[in-house]
Amino acid sequence: MRWILYNVLFTIGYVLMAPGFLLRMLRRGGYRPNFRHRFGRYDAATADRLAALRTPHSALRTPHSALRTPHSALRTPHSAFRTPDAPLWIHAVSVGEVGVAVQVMAALRGRDPSLRFVLSTTSSTGWREAAKRVGPADVLLYNPLDFPPCAARALDAIGPRALLLTESEIWPNLIRACGRRGIPVMLVNGRISDRSAPRYRLLRFWFGPVLRQFGLLLAQSDLDRDRLAAAGADAARMVVTGSVKFDAARRDPSGEGRAAAALAGLDMGAGRRVLLGGSTWPGEETILLGIYRRLRERHADLRLVLVPRHFERGDEVAADIAAAGFACVRQSRLDAGAAPPPADGPPPVLLVDTTGDLMGFYAHAAVAFVGKSLAARGAQNMIEPCLCGVPTIVGPHTQNFRPVMADLLAAGAIVQVDGAAQLERRIGELLAQPDACRALGERAAAAVARRRGVVGRCAELILQQMEAHA
């Protein structure tokens, strides 16, 4: 009865959200060519590639031979996952989770080169990032809607050996369908946010049976483990590994080169210091523009680069820049061949309204502010600027990166402020104290380096779980 109610409520919720979802599709683009994936339906070429993933390739067998031992007597109409050559299905909702998934895939493949993967994502931005990083042997899909027929069709087409979900992707119908088919389900880099924890606990009678379908839950922190247990997960199946995102962050040398060229062409290169707002959300750009205007009076060499979290907000952010009295140069137009403004004019604000370029720009920042932490809740990835050795500031709302923030704060590797006034004060202090600014960046890079290695441990635990299940 509870699952009938869940499906009724899910249907109502999806219908109510559909207009906003369709509008976002139109604004971002990229959804339409593969929209059928949402219903577990695939074009002939994709279906053929999925079928090819299940084709035996015995020549690639490796020391994890227990995973590839033939046991045809166990085969059933839905037992493709039991074959030694069936793919692992990894789901990652958007860009950050895609980075985690790709690192886990690489670590697993490094230990067993015969492994093949299906990577699914929810957002078009996640798709674009994944398309750059998946190999030719793997298949990229959109995740199916969590309706029983959609989940069943996707499982029929993929026939996975196991399903790996990242962070907080708990889809009851998909997970329960895997349980009925005997497909092992695992959670990687698991977390439950401050906002979600009370709901999970309150709805334990719903989430408990779903969480107990997981054979392995790899949690980011002790707090996440305790919250999963409070929601009904089996404590014996949980392991605290730390955050995979320390491993997922990677510098982008080619992107850094492109960013350097763009900055040099706008009088933002040598001899200038860049204040960078990364993954900013509505309201945060206006705050940074005001701070920039006032700090420019004391620091004539200061320049501002804004990289909004969603590139489709480009027109909105460009209007904010103009309203603040600055000329705006858009990276998308420079990429299309537009000429930069005259060098003898007032310095413009660079708006990076493209996808996948933020990491390249981080490397050239004198100070970075990480968005969704001041005017919104949750924060974006502060590991990336820290990895580049950039002095990094975040606002008070960093719930999405709780264990990461605990590590960075304990190492004195990041600055957290309580509001816009303190943000301005701390940026000004860093600009006025180059030695302190440089030391903060060095502590940030060292803190990230010390915490790498989580993804390798996760890969070993996943393989052990698969062996045990086989």
Which are the catalytic amino acids?
97
**Token pair in block for residue 2:** 């509870």
d(CA 211, CA 236): 12
Q: What are phi and psi of 364, to 5 degrees?
A: -105, 10
d(CA 284, CA 233): 38
Return the CA Rg of the chain: 23
CA torsion, ordered 12, 13, 15, 21, to nearest 10 deg: -170
d(CA 257, CA 186): 38
Helix residue ranges per DSSP H, 212-367: 222-230, 245-248, 253-264, 284-295, 314-323, 331-335, 358-362
Answer for the pair 450, 317: CB distance below 8 angstroms, yes or no.
no
DSSP 455-470: HHHHHHHHHHHHHHH-
Please name which of 246, 275, 427 lies closest in space to residue 361, comparing C-alpha atoms: 275
Identify residue 344 by its one-letter amino acid code. Answer: D
Reduced to 3 states (helix: H, G, I; strand: E, B; else coil), residue 189 is: strand
Q: Which is it for the CA torsion 78, 127, 376, 399, positive or negative?
A: positive
Q: What are phi and psi of 40, to 5 degrees?
A: 70, 25
Please name which of 289, 334, 323, 294 lies closest in space to residue 308, comparing C-alpha atoms: 289
**Token pair in block for residue 415:** 């600055």
SS3 content of the chain, % helix, strand, coil (to 5): 50, 15, 35
d(CA 24, CA 321): 23
